Amino acid sequence: MLKNKSQNAFFFLGYYRTFAAIFREPKNGVLRPIFLSDMRKPFLSQFLFVAALFLSMSAFAIAEESKDDEGGKDLKTEITDYIDHHLKDSHDFSLFSIKQDDGTKKHIGFPLPVILWDDGLKVFSSSKFHHGEAVAEVDGNHYKLYHSKIYKTDAAGTINYDEKHHATNAKPLDFSITKGVVMIFITGLLMFLLFRGLAKSYAKNGSIPKGVGRFFEPIVLYIRDDIAIANIGEKRYKKYMPFLLTVFFFIWFLNMFGLTPLGVNVTGNISVTVALAIVTFLLTNLTGTKDYWKHLFDPLGDSMPWFGKLPLYVILIPIEILGIFIKPFSLLIRLYANMQAGHIVVMSLIGLMFIFKSWIGSPLSFGLAFAISLIEILVALLQAYIFTMLSALYFGFASEEHDHAEAH
């Protein structure tokens, strides 16, 4: 009975692992054969299947991770550390790690190039860090990974802390190809191949999409009709279309990758969302029309004489100017926080499965994690939609041409 109890949590995992094997096979390509090619099957069952895959894989990864060294830390800290580590970008692409007979961890994955600017370009493989366990020595400088960041240290790898336990070592400029960068690159490549294929299939089949394109074309049309045209207007929507389409699929795909056991959290990384929001910000303000700027600096227009407007503008104009920055800022925080929170919740619930280790607790947290995973799949789409939608809305404000003064 006791034996059963401890293995209980792995029952489901074992079951799903068979699917996982199919899923991981490289010749299957990236997700496509499983959930995009055959749309005739009932949508819900496929949806559940995919969700189950994602969840099981993450659970598998966490299980392998947390099993390792039960001697050193307790399970709770182990899981917390794992989640913390997962949420951050990392310098090597590790899928999971297993404990070897001699007690050392063996990481399955591959190292990525580290590119540092520290009085000259330093390029080396991240395998030199040995997953943060060793000090890398390059050209006489020593570097060490601490909480997924590279610090410059002495030969022994000492890290100095301030009173808040923050590392005070010097940080070289880090332009490494991290896991996130690899995923961005893969997503970009996937998108390029996918939509290049769609574009080509039009030429080949006389304006009728074929294959995967059939799934994506309605989405492209939806973005055009209900996001771009609805918010920007028939006349000016065209120049924003490339950005809107790219950003939608980019965020959506990366969100979906985040749910896979690849363990990437790209859209839940503040640097990525900042970059995306900056593009929106620049596009909004660089394409702003005269009316947009007039609306910013003269929101009341001719409805009041200048001496009446002056005291109001002392308050109004700073608010309007602040608004320019708050809009993209809310975009980036929303995406970041949603994805981050989703990952934390799913992984914590999976972690609970191994903390409870009981007949009631584990299936319960498994069910919860499963339900949250389902919601996360929707959130992945929703956040991409919201980001695109709000960007389009801001572009709409920026490119309006009619006199808007009477509306205030």
Partner 1 sequence: MTIPRIVGAGLIVIGVGVGIGKIGGQAMEAIARQPEAYGKIQTAMLIAAALIEGIGFAALFATTELDG
Partner 2 sequence: MEKLIEEFSLGLFFWQSLLFVGLVLLLRKFAWKPILDSVNEREDGIKDALAAAEDAKKEMQNVTADSENLLKEARAEREAMLKEAREIKDKLIADSKEQAKVEGDKMIKQAQAAIESEKKAAVADIKSQVANLSVDIAEKVIKEQLSDKSKQLKLVDDLLGDIKLN
> Which residues sit at the interface with partner 1, rule CB under 8 A?
164, 226, 230-231, 330, 333-334, 337, 385-386, 389-390, 393
Which three-class secondary structure state does DSSP give residue 143?
strand
Q: How far is the CB of 374 from partner 2 (least distance, A)?
A: 28
Q: Which of the ranges 38-46, 76-84, 215-223, 370-378 carries the binding residues for partner 2, by CB under 8 A?
A: 215-223
**Computed from CA positions of residues 174, 177, 182, 187, in that sequence, does the dihedral angle turn out positive or negative?**
positive
Could you give the CA distance from residue 276 to residue 155 in angstroms, rounded to a whole number? Answer: 39
Per-residue tokens: 28:
């299957």
Q: At 95, which helix (H) or strand (E)?
A: strand 92-99
Among 22, 134, 199, 371, binds partner 2 (CB under 8 A): 199
Q: Which of the ranges 5-13, 202-210, 365-373, 385-393 carries the binding residues for partner 2, by CB under 8 A?
A: 202-210
Whether the CB-CB separation of 87 and 340 falls below 8 Å is answered with yes
Does residue 177 bind partner 2 (CB under 8 A)?
yes
Could you give the CA distance from residue 241 to residue 229 in angstroms, rounded to a whole number? Answer: 10
Q: How far is the CB of 119 from partner 1 (least distance, A)?
A: 33
Strands, DSSP E only, in 224-325? none
Does residue 191 bind partner 2 (CB under 8 A)?
yes
Among the listed residues 295, 343, 326, 347, the one whose alpha carbon sits nearest the alpha carbon of residue 390: 326
Q: How far is the CB of 238 from partner 2 (least distance, A)?
A: 8
Q: How far is the CB of 390 from partner 1 (least distance, A)?
A: 6
CB burial string 360-397: b at 16+ within 10 A, e below: eebbebbebbbebbbebbebbbebbbbbbbbbbbbbbb
Q: At 124, which helix (H) or strand (E)?
A: strand 121-125
Could you give the CA distance from residue 227 to residue 144 in angstroms, rounded to a whole number? Answer: 46
Whether the CB-CB separation of 84 and 348 falls below 8 Å is answered with no
Side chain identity at residue 153, one-letter code: T
**Binder of residue 279, out of partner 1, partner 2, none (CB less than 5 to 8 A by kind):** partner 2
Give the nearer residue to partner 2 in terms of CB position, either 246 or 285.
Answer: 246
Q: How far is the CB of 276 from partner 2 (least distance, A)?
A: 7
Does residue 202 bind partner 2 (CB under 8 A)?
yes
Could you give the CA distance from residue 209 to residue 233 in angstroms, rounded to a whole number? Answer: 26
Whether the CB-CB separation of 56 and 41 falls below 8 Å is answered with no
Give the nearer residue to partner 2 in terms of CB position, either 136 or 198.
Answer: 198
Which residues inside 157-176 make contact with partner 2, applying CB under 8 A?
166, 173-176
**Binder of residue 386, out of partner 2, partner 1, none (CB less than 5 to 8 A by kind):** partner 1
| Neighbouring residues of 21: CB distance < 8 A, sequence distance ≥ 6 | none
Does residue 325 bind partner 2 (CB under 8 A)?
no
Per-residue binding string, partner 2, 103-142, x by CB under 8 A, is ------------x---------------------------
**Binder of residue 390, out of partner 1, partner 2, none (CB less than 5 to 8 A by kind):** partner 1
Does residue 391 bind partner 2 (CB under 8 A)?
no
Strands, DSSP E only, in 136-213? 136-138, 141-146, 149-153, 173-174
Q: At 350, which helix (H) or strand (E)?
A: helix 306-356
Among 10, 243, 292, 356, binds partner 2 (CB under 8 A): 243
Q: How far is the CB of 320 from partner 2 (least distance, A)?
A: 23
Does residue 181 bind partner 2 (CB under 8 A)?
yes
Residues in touch with partner 2 (CB under 8 A):
88-89, 115, 149, 166, 173-178, 180-181, 184-185, 188, 191-192, 195-196, 198-200, 202-203, 207, 217, 220-221, 224, 238, 241-243, 245-247, 250, 269-272, 274-276, 278-279
